[in-house]
């Protein structure tokens, strides 16, 4: 890929592109959340939410926020207290929940998700998070397993579709140096 790849924090001007990418990725699964919910998740933890630019255009995004292990956002509600609960839990939660990682359709299959996932892993490590969790939707469990995530069969993520699987992985130093394809 000859275009420059850059990962940065979300800016106000990115929201139309983020909402469009999210809708195209999740509407067919009945999981699209809409602008208010997406923004609320990014507002809960702006330092862990990113846009991936290819050239001068947004080509993907990632939303992650602190959440106690084995808990996850309710897709029907805007985010209000999860980050506060994670910070106030005793001991403090060291889990960062990867809520969304979307690459625009025309650029999928080129390793761009790997760039975002590596960036998130570095961010989680610098924050001293011990784990990254996510919910694999739409039969994507093999994709996430190949990236080091392990399923937790005892957790049944309601509201995320019939094939949703709660998964997590440790943020070990060795994970931080995985080369991008």
Quick: pLDDT tens for 156-175. 899 999 889 999 999 975 44
| pLDDT recorded at residue 74 | 92
Residue 38 CA to residue 33 CA, distance in Å, equals 7
Q: Where are the domains of the chain?
A: 5-177
| pLDDT recorded at residue 178 | 45
Q: Is the pLDDT of residue 104 over 60?
A: yes
**Pick from 116, 98, 12, 97: nearest CA to 59:** 116
Q: Is the pLDDT of residue 180 over 80?
A: no
| pLDDT recorded at residue 93 | 74
Between these two residues, 104 and 177, which has the higher pLDDT value? 104
Q: Is the pLDDT of residue 98 over 80?
A: yes
| pLDDT recorded at residue 172 | 72
Quick: pLDDT tens for 112-153. 999 999 999 999 999 999 999 999 999 999 999 999 999 999
DSSP labels for the chain? Answer: --S-EEEEE--GGGHHHHHHHHHHHHGGGT----HHHHHHHHHH-GGGEEEEEETTEEEEEEEEEE--TT----TTS--SSHHHHHHHSSSPP-EEEEEEEEE-GGGTTSSHHHHHHHHHHHHHHHTT--EEEEEE-TT-HHHHHTTT-EE-TT---TTS-TT-EEEEEE--GGGGGPPP-
Architecture of the domain made up of 5-177: 3-Layer(aba) Sandwich (3.40)
| pLDDT recorded at residue 24 | 97
Quick: pLDDT tens for 6-59. 999 999 999 999 999 999 999 999 999 999 999 999 999 999 999 999 998 999
Q: Is the pLDDT of residue 89 over 70?
A: no
Q: Is the pLDDT of residue 85 over 70?
A: no
**Pick from 165, 122, 123, 121: nearest CA to 144:** 165
């Amino acid at each position: 890929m000859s275009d420059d790849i850059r990962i940065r924090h979300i800016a106000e001007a990115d929201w139309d592109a983020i909402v469009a990418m999210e809708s195209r990725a999740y509407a067919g699964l009945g999981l699209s959340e809409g602008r208010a919910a997406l923004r609320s998740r990014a507002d809960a933890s702006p330092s862990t939410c990113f846009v991936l630019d290819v050239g001068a255009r947004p080509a993907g995004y990632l939303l992650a926020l602190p959440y106690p292990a084995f808990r996850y956002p309710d897709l029907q509600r805007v985010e209000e207290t999860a980050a506060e609960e994670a910070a106030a839990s005793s001991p403090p939660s060291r889990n960062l929940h990867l809520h969304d990682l979307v690459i625009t359709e025309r650029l999928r299959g080129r390793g761009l998700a790997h760039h975002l996932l590596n960036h998130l892993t570095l961010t989680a490590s610098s924050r001293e998070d011990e784990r990254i969790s996510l919910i694999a939707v739409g039969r994507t469990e093999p994709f996430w397993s190949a990236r080091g995530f392990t399923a937790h069969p005892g957790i049944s993520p309601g509201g995320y579709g019939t094939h949703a699987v709660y998964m997590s992985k440790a943020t070990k130093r060795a994970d931080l140096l995985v080369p991008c394809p």
